[in-house]
Amino acid sequence: MDKIELRQPLENPRISQLFDQDFPWYNKIKGKWELFYKDTYGLEWHPWIDYACIVGTHVYSANDWICMYANYDNINGNLVQIWNEEWNYKTLYWHNSKMEVKQWDKVKAWQLISLSGNTWAWTWPHLHFGFKLTKWGGNWADNDNGYNWASDPMPFIKYNYLGEILNINNDMFTYKKLKWDKNIWLCNEDKKIRAVFLDMPTMAFFTDNFDEVDNLDEYKVYWTQALFQRTIID
């Protein structure tokens, strides 16, 4: 499992609903508030990740291997499904407006596979991103986990910016946040370097593990797009 490495499927990812979250809605027939996924579908909670985006946003594959499905799905609209046979998992992308790959195409991580849309979406346009562990042949592996065979992909989404996995030893860095800045910075106290962490969804993992500081002027700045190799300020 430690060899599974996923990239974010969007250039500027903004998660509107995480895996394992739910939201209440008022059931007019029953006259009471209910949890949408738990009470309506019998699921534990939300079994996917939702990325907020407008129709036509480029959607990229989070992983290598082969397109197992690229067609209309009568539950969640246009679906692209990428299977990694080596590590036995699939990533799934719903609600698309247009497919950019077809079944049995070989796919590379961060390859354009679709344009986002609103097909069979119950709310606003968004990307419905799923991750499922599989057995040999691509069949679902975890049928009884209460999440419609899905698992949380976030532990496997590596630190990345525009699809590039960052070549970084995370133990060397601490996470800091300016009081006026929405971004989190990775700071190396010894080498006096810092890099802005632009990958917003991944930053959610560190909301309990950063220091809030007044300024970061004492650090040199590195830009993440070039894997910290291009210096902006010496």
Residue 202, H or E segment: helix 200-203
Give the three-class secondary structure for 39. Answer: helix
In order of 71, 109, 225, the CA distances from 139 in angstroms are 18, 21, 36
Predicted TM-score of the model (pTM): 0.71
Residues 219 and 177 both lie in one domain:
yes
Mean pLDDT, residues 82-96:
94
Question: The dihedral of CA 106, 110, 134, 53: what is its sign?
Answer: negative
What's the pLDDT at 107?
A: 97
The verdict on residue 10 lying in a domain is no
What's the pLDDT at 63?
A: 94
| Total domain count, the chain | 2
Is 65 a residue whose pLDDT tops 50?
yes
CA pair distance 201, 138, nearest whole angstrom: 28
When mean pLDDT is compared over 43-47, 65-69, 74-78, 198-202, the highest value belongs to 65-69
The owner of tokens 């019998």 is 42
Among 18-22, 32-36, 212-216, 229-233, whose mean pLDDT is lowest?
229-233
CA pair distance 68, 73, nearest whole angstrom: 13
The verdict on residue 206 lying in a domain is yes
Residues 31 and 76 both lie in one domain:
yes
What does the pLDDT look like over 109-141, one tens digit per residue?
A: 999 999 999 988 667 889 999 999 888 777 766
Residues 213/216/222/228 CA torsion (nearest 10 deg): -40
CB distance 89 to 139 below 8 Å: no
Q: How confident is the model at residue 231 (pLDDT cuts 50, 70, 90)?
A: very low
The verdict on residue 217 lying in a domain is yes
Is 101 a residue whose pLDDT tops 90?
yes
Q: Determine the structural domain holding residue 90 and report its residue range.
A: 15-157
Largest CA distance in the chain: 64
Among 32-36, 43-47, 53-57, whose mean pLDDT is lowest?
43-47
Give the three-class secondary structure for 44. Answer: coil
Q: How confident is the model at residue 34 (pLDDT cuts 50, 70, 90)?
A: confident
